[in-house]
Structures are given as C-alpha cells and as structure tokens.
Structure 1
Amino acid sequence: MWALRRASLPLRSQAFNIRSSRACCANLELPITYGQGDACFHESCKSMPDGCLSSKRLYYTTQVSWNFSVDRRSFSSQAGAESSGEKDDLEDGFSELETLPSAEASQHEDELISEPELSEDEEEVEPSQHELELSENGADSIEKRSPRKRNVSELFKAILAFPAFSVHGALDKWVKAGNDLNRAEISLAMFNFRKRQMFGRALQLSEWLEEHKQIEFVERDYASRVDLIAKVRGLYKAEKYIETIPASFRGEVIYRTLLAYAVSTHNLKKSEEIFNKMKDLEFPVTPFTCNQLLLLYKRLDKKKMADVLLLMEKENVKPTAFTYKLLIDTKGQSNDMTGMDQIYETMKAEGCEPDITVKAILAKHYAAGGLKEKAEAVLKDMEGGNLKENRWACQALLPLYAELGQVDEVERVWKVCESNPRLQEFMAAIKAWGMLNKIEEAEAVFEKMSNTFKKLSSRHYYVLLKVYANGKKLTKGKDLVKRMADNKCDIGPLTWDALVKLYVEAGELEKADSMLQKAAQTNRKKPLFNSYMTIMEQYSKKGDTHNAEKMFYRMRQAGYMARLRQFQTLIQAYINAKTSPYGIWERMKADNIFPNKSLLAQLAQVDPFKKTAASDLLD
C-alpha cells in the first residue's frame, strides 16, 4: 500500500486545492480564504473541511469554503482533469442510462426500459457498465451472475405475454397452472429483466415473491430489492425500505448496494452520507467500499482520491485489481504517463496480475499521448503471439489499432474474426473503421451484423450512427434512424445523442437543440448528459450566454447534478460574450463545485471587480 501511495508523490497538487487537516478535531476553528486578484472570501468553519476524509468519517458540506493552497497529495496532475473523463460518459458504457427516473415516471414502473436488447438467441450478454464496475458487489442472490450464454426464462416470457403489464397477475396464473417457481427459474427471469433494463417489472417480481413467501429471503435478496427500488423509485424510497428489512438481514451488503447505486448516479452528497452511515454502524471498511469512493471521485473530484488511499492504508485495506485499474486510468487521463507506469509496476509487484482491460487502458493512453512504440508493445503483448488462440483479445485490439491509425493491423485482426464474428467484435470493427474514416468498410460490417442477428437494438445501431456523426454524414444518419424505426427499434437516449452530434457537426445547432428538447418532453427516458453538453459547448463557443444558461437549467431539470465541466463551459460562454456572470461564485458554492486552475483563470477573465491599470487611474 505504501508503494502505491509513493507512486502518487510526483503528483502533489499543482493547482487550486482544499486545505486538509489530518487531525480529527471537530471544534478546531480554521480560517479559510480564497484569493484571486482582488476578490476574496474569508470564512471560518468549525468542522473538518470537505476535502478531508478521516479514517473515521467522510465529511460533506454544502456551505463549503475554498483555499488557494498547495498542501494535498492528489492523483491528478491537473486538478481539472475531471473534464477529460466526463467527455467519455458514453464510451464508459452508457452509465447515464441507469440514472434515476423522475417521481412522475414512477407510476409507469413496468415500462422503465432504456433500450431493448437483442433477440433471445443472442450469444453474448452485455452487462451494464455499472455491473462491470461493481463486479465485486454481492446483491445478486436471486439473480446470480449468469453464464455468458443463457436461455430466456419461461417465467419471463409468461410475464411479458400477460395483458395489461400485470406482473402479479402473470405470477398468480403461473402458480395456479402448477408451474414450478424455484430459485433457478426466478434467477433467470430476474436476469432477463435486468438485462433489458426492465427494472420496474423486476421490482414487481421481487415484491410478489416476498409477499407470497415463495422463497426464503436472505440478505442478498433484500439487497437486490434495494437496488431495484433505487433504480425505479429513487434513493429516498430505497432508504425507507431498508428500515423495514429484518435487523438480522440489515448488514453491510444492503448498504454497499445503496452506496453503489448512489455512486452510479454521480450523487456525491448521498454517497458520502451512505459511507458515513456505514461507519456509524461499524461495518468494516472493505475494498469494495473504497473502490466505490475512488470511482466516485475519479468522476467528480479527483483531488479526494488520495484521501481514499490514505484511508485504505490506515484501515489496512488491500487494493484490488479494480483499484489499480481506476488509478491507472486516472493517471492516463491526466496525461501522467510516468505515474501510470509506476502504478502498473506496483500492481505487478504486489502480485496482482494485470488483465486485458488494464493493458487496453495502458495502450489507449499511450496512443493518446503520442507514445506509439509503447502502445504497440502493449498491443503485441495482448495478442500473446497467436491471435487465433487469444481470440478474446480482438474486441479490444480493433479500436486500439485504429487509434494508432494502423489500417493494416485493423484489417489483420478483423480477418481473424470475419468468418464467425461475435457481437462485440462486430461493434468493435464498426467503431475501428469509423475511427479510420473508412465509412464503407464500417457499413459492410454493420450489414453483416444485421444479417447475422435477427434483431438489433438501438445500442448496436448507435455504433454506426456515431461513425456517421464523426464523418458528418447527416443524410446517411437520418436514413439509418428511419431504418431503426421501420425495424421497430426503440428510439432512445443513445439515438438522440447520435442525432445531436449529427446535427451539430452539420452546422444545424438549433435543430439539434429543438430535437433534444422534444425528445426530453415526450419521453420518460432522459437524454444523456453528453447530449446536453454537446449543444451547450456549441452555444459557449458562440458566446450565446442565454442559450448556454438554458442548457444548464435543462440539465438540472433532467436530474443531473452540477459538475465542474458545466461551469467551465458556462463561464467560457461569458468570456466569449465579453460579459460577466454575476453571482457565479455563489452558484458554484451552492453546488459544492471547487474551482481548479483553469477555472480560476476563466473566472479572473470575467471578474467585474478586477482592477486594471486603467481602472486605477479612473478611480
């Protein structure tokens, strides 16, 4: 653990930071100031600053004060590295698709499905990014991790076929007909519902099982219910349900499931509250819990990642493969190749063998950083000498070789798969050809994919839509969306996001805006965070503060918590408009947003009270 922390030493914060007190002195009065030019805040706090995560408790406050100082260890070379990661919200696995629906939508729980999945003969099962990230999670007793190839549950089919979306009615009929309702059948049905993001029906199934006492619930069954309630009805309802769980089953798994959902929705305040609750209940600090905090701060506040590592050291919590994966990716996003290499070597020295995903992360950041030879060496290592024997590596290799601009290598890897491609290999090849601007090759792979599988989902059309968006092929993109509709494919957040980019790249910003607004108003599914930001950034470039503020407000309406990137984009709009955003400091403080170096520089440009040589003379 000490070796892991030492790897972070070259990255002592070089930017605006929070002063952390390592002593747990709740009554210590700390003067906290912010200084930039002539503007100044001076406040006192009688509690530990938000930046300090002690071994006992994680502190959060909305009345936060700021200090311009350099005294914290950080895992980001730049305090503002957050923005580079947030731009990849989509690429990170559509994590926004699992975000919380509005309260008004709860009455339609049975139809809360983001995008339909493939036909029942689909070979590969795609877990959500949330499930991939939380592979350590245990909330899966009545829905155990399933093999990659599974049949569709007969119970699942019966529920879908029952009229009026009545899950309870379908279950009553199932039992009355004498059908067996064992754990295996329930597990498979629950898996099918979750796979299609039909969380409302999965919740009704769980409720009926408990009400009719068809199975004996254990802690992980209750944890599964907590997760489903959070997804369908919100965190508040999930917390209220926890109070009804028998005390003997109200253990760590219940609360870590709640924590995992709060983290997946980027809810900083609630995540920290849940962590503190777990400490109050004297649950042990586990690698899973720490990984959740690291994941949260990697997305929202990279400066705090060092505090989590300090907590792990104090509590003697050993890093897992996922811990190293997060840290390596964070270093890469910050363009700190030396730090990334150090953590990679530490990982191996600690006996944690890097898997293909870790190597893919390394190669991706090497390629992005211009270290072509190092990237190629990692890719050859992933191939393992015989690509046909290591077929599972093809999916990762295709876009990585495309990132390096190596057409011949993409062609070579695709030939290994071409005779019998798996679904993910199809998608990786489409993405790779698109990155190389080989539109016809991408289209040919898509046609082969559509002929191989009976029914494709929006997610699979989205890959080609994105190729068209990057290639500014608006007409082709529109035609593909019409084809989706003709094939009765659900038009949801992924499709809207691709259309937004298509219109923006074609110079039709107003059309992109109106299309997204209409989609948000006429559907229960909310658009992706990235869709709003794509439009907001265009208004910012134009200096259109009115429409930039409108997009900021619409994101808040959609349920997205404020992030640093939003304020950076908004303030840039005011800079381009050569006007001042009055009250912006108060807005940032209310949203618990801490300025980094680049944001401070932006704020200095729009400070209406900043003194200049001319203003001094006039005064």
Structure 2
Amino acid sequence: MAAASLFADLLRQARPRNPSVTILRALPLSLRQPSQPLSSGLANSQGLAVEEEPAALVDDLRSRIFRLRFPKRSAMDALDRWVGEGGTVTASELREITKDLRKSKRFKHALEPICTDDMISEWMKVHQESELSDKDYATRIDLLTKVFGLIAAEEFFEGLPSSFKSYEACTALLHSYAAKKQIEKAENLFDRIKELNISSSVFAYNEMMALYISVGQLDKVTVVVDELKRQKVSPDLFTYNLWISSCAASLDIISVRRILDEMAQDPRSDKQWIAYMRLTDIYLAAGQLESSQSSLSEVDKQISQREWITYDFLIILHAGLGNTQMLNDIWKSMKMTKQKMTSRNYICVIGSYLMVEQFKEAGEVIDEWKKSKGQEFHISDCNRLFEALKKTGLSDKAEKFHELMEVYLPKSLCAIFMQILTWMESDGCFQLLPSDHGAKLDLLTKVYTIAEAETYFQKLSSSASKRAAAFPLLHSYVKAKDLQKSEALMYMLQNSGLVVDPHPFNELMKLYIATGEIQSVIKVIQYMKRSKIPLNVLSYNLWMNACGMLYGIMSAETMLMEMTNDKNVEVGWSAYYTLANIYTNAGNHKKAHDALALAEEKLSMRKPPRVSNVLLAAYMRNGWMDKAKSLHLHTLEKGGHPNYKTWEILMEGWVKTTQMDRAVEAPLRL
C-alpha cells in the first residue's frame, strides 16, 4: 500500500539513532527539526542538496568543497589540492565540514553531498588512519548503505579489525539492516551485540522494536522489552512510545494503560513524559480505540489500522517532545498518502497541536477535516476530544479548542449536525453516546434557545448523559448571566454526584465575579477543597482575584503562594497578570509593573496574539507606553504576528498620550 513505505520512512526518522551515526550532525535525527518533509517522495525536486555560499567567494577548504556541484567532481581531489597548496587540515575540521554537508539530508534527491561526505571519510582513512574514531567508522557504514548499498556496508564492516567493531559500528550496521527490513540479519547482529556485552545503551533495542513494528511483527516487540529489562537497560521515551504503539496497534489497551502506569512510576519522568502520557490518555478516550475491534474483519483493514495507529503515536511522541516542525512534517506526509484518514487520526493531530499551543494549525486541521471527502466529520468526535482534554487537566487547551470550534463551525453547520443527531436518535437504529447528547445540547443552545436545551436535558435518563450535557447547559446559563439557573443546576449536579472536576465550578465563579457576588467565590473554593476537587490554574486565578477584591493585596499574594506550592498546577503568565490587575486596582503601580514583567517573562511568543494583547492593554491602562512598545517590538522580533486588536490597543494608547501622528498611522495596519 502507498502508506506502507511512507510509514517505514517516518518510523526510521522518529526512532533514536546511535550517537555514532549522528555525531557529525547538528542534532540526533530523532530530536532535530528537519527542513524537508520526511518522505523521500516529498523532497523538493528543485532544490540543491548543499547550502548556498555568500556572494563574496571565500577561499577556504569548506568553501571549496561546498562549491562542488556535481558528483563527478572529487572532494578528495579538492582536499589533496588544498594540502598541496600548503593548507592545513585536521580531522576535527573535516568532521565539521561533514556535519554541515549532511544537514540537508536530501539523499533521494541528490547524492552529491553524500558522495562528497563519504569521500572525506575515505581521505581521512588514507591520510590520517590514526585519527579515525569509532564514530567515523560508524558514519562510513551509514553512508555506504545510503550511497552504494547494504552489501558495500557489510563488506566494509567485516573487513574492519576486531578492535574497530565497536558498539558504534555494530549499531550503525544494525540501523542499516532495520532500514532495509533485513530481519534475519538484524536479529543475528543484535544477538552478536548482546554477546559482546559492549554497551548498556538502549539504542540497539529501539532499533529492533522499530523494525518489528515496521514489518508488522508486533508480538516480538514485547520480547525485546523483556530482554531489555533482563539486561537492566533503562528505557527512554522512544522505547516506551514504540512499546505503547505496538500494543495500541494490536488493540491491547489494557497493556497500554499498564505501560503508562509504569512510565508514571519511572523516576526519570519529566515534563516531556508527562505531556506524552496526557496525550496518550486523550487519544485513548477521544479516539475510542477500545471500540475499534469490530472494524477489523479484513486483513487489509488490520494492516491499515496498525499503520495509522503507529502514525498517531509518532505524532504523540513529537508533541510530547515539543517538536512542532516534526508535527508539521508528519501531518503533511499523512495528507499525501492515498489511504483514507479516520476521525481518530484527526483527533490525534488536533490534540497534539493544542498540546504544543499551535492553535492556528489546530484550527486548520479542523477545517480540513470538515472539508474532507473521504471522512465524514462528526461533531460528537470533537465533543469527545473536548471532554478528554478537560478530564486530563488541560482546561486551558479545552477552552481554546471550544473557541476554535465556534470559529470553524458556523451556525448553519451546527444546525445540520443537530439534524443528523436528531435523526440518529429518532431512527432507532443508532444509540447516541453520552458525548453525543452533550454535543446535541450544545447545538440546541447555538441554533435555537436555552429553553429547547433545558427541555432536552430534562428528558435525559442516564447519569452519564446528564454529566456530558450539564457543562454546555451551565455554560449557556453563564453566558446569559442567569445566576439563579446556574446555581440550581450546580445544586442538582452536586446532589447527584455528577461534578468531579473544576470546570463547572470555574464557570460558576466567573459568573459570581461578573455579577458582583464575590463572597460566593470563596464559598465555592471552600466546597471544592472539602470535596477534594482539584483546583486548576483558572480556579486559582479566580480565587486570587476574589481575595484581592475582598481582602486586599496581601491576601492575593498568599493565594499566589498557595498556587505556587501546588505541584499539580504550573504558574503561568495569567497568574501574574491577575495579580497585576489587583495591584493596579489597589493603586500600587510599582508592584503592578513588577507583576506584569513576570507575566511577560512567562509569556511564550508562540501563543496567539490575543495573549500578548492582554498584557499590552494592561501596560496601556497604566500609562506605561515604553513597556508596551518594548513588548510589541519583542513580540515582532520573536516572530509573533499582531492582529487588528493589537493595533487598536496601540492606537488607543497613542491617542491618550497625544502621540497623534502614530495614532493616525495605526489604522493603516488594520
């Protein structure tokens, strides 16, 4: 199938490479952000495979080699000519040149840099045998495979003295076997590596796991993991990802959850691991992987699903690592296959973009999914993703996803979706899931009225359906500032035991602040603590705001300290922005200035412009034009993109400070 070769290429790109193979590159292949799409078929057929030199020619060794545009021109001749002219060269200098030549990685498009690279290695071997390291031999094996084929690499390896058949050289050849799907040869070499007992590195184990996944021998992945544990080799995130994806592709969800528990107990678990585990939880919940067994009646479908699930876990892995460029490349590659993507694939990509805060890209995927001819868009799938984000503690991502849905799902489309859900329910052949009921109630508030939504809610019988539908109903009450109905709904939910997360409480606290019922916010927090309902970032911000309004600055600062001490909450820019507003309202402009500076430090320029606009407006309100200008310029320098609101805020500030010439220019930028 068309996806098969692309999958194998992506899997090789994603697995961690032996450092010996990648030592002459800027970063390990699995962690760096490639400038090209991952599939050879996606390479730029017009681009050169080497970097362009500046207009002014520089006569040094690097420049001479980079000016070789055709494979027939020998790099070794250039090296000999350089030395013959009295130039000096060291092994370290040649390695730097090699690293720069290999950055383009356009192996299928143009062999010239690889040929040149290999010739450099040859020149080092002939002229400076003593300077060749284990890493140089490993690099040569990797290049021989790419340029002349596997047989040439094998002959070179077998011709090496025993002392040079190091772990680096062995794993370089193992990688070549895995890339060519030479299972028997890879297994024999893997056994040889273990017998030599020359390293406790996890790289060889990862290579074998990736090989077995790429050829569909998923049962052998667990065998490799068992061997890894017997040898007391520490798994890394790539090991766990390969193990989890093999179990998920086999629909062994119990094993997936067991592996996630093991990851959580691993003392090396960090932010990247936590992000990965959260995305996996979201994928299992929103993608409904458990219920997919019924669709696997044909062999072709099994193969297709196995490959797509492994694609999904490549995306989850790189989202956990924060590799946005890899996300872009894999998503682009997936779109170019002829195989039909499922709703699970779209959910995975959207969730991953939300995790790395690439909201524009997430919106574009939603739009593409909606327009897809091969896959019918389902609002219930989106609702499951929304619920999974909330359940995993990513409330800010859930709220942003809700905003994106409102942008990309116009009211007319909502009406169509609601008609489909109504037909499914009335036809009797389909049973709506709880998330479907939640989606329908949300659509009722958008297309018709809250009264219609209330009637529908009252007819729901199961507690699961009521729980799913309660939040959109509460949200509609809050938007309408209907305090009485909001409190009545919350009272009913609490008595029924249907409230288990902070999101409904946050909605209610926002309403209390908007209607001036500040003391009620404190009561809500007290109830949440008694009921052991965890507070998230928004909960703390609302609490801090209420304390500042009721009891003053010191109380708000105490709340910030409590928030900082909560290990389950990460204090971000919004907390300091909230505190700055409290200081401003209290007339303490110095502390407000300092708090905004801390908020700015926490601000990532990858965030959408609305976030930096919030801080920009705060500076303007306090009359700190210099700080506003500095933030604006800093945002531009970091690649941020101001929107119309940015210029409106700046224009208003310039008018207040009588800088009319600048205010007049602002509308031209809208």
Counting helix residues as a fraction of each chain, which structure ranks higher? Answer: 2
State the structure with bigger RCO (CA 8 A, min sep 6), 1 or 2: 1
Q: Which of the two has higher C-alpha Rg?
A: 2
TM > 0.5 between the two? no
- The bucket for the TM-score relative to the shorter chain is 0.3 to 0.5
Please, what TM-score do these two structures have when normalized by structure 2? 0.42
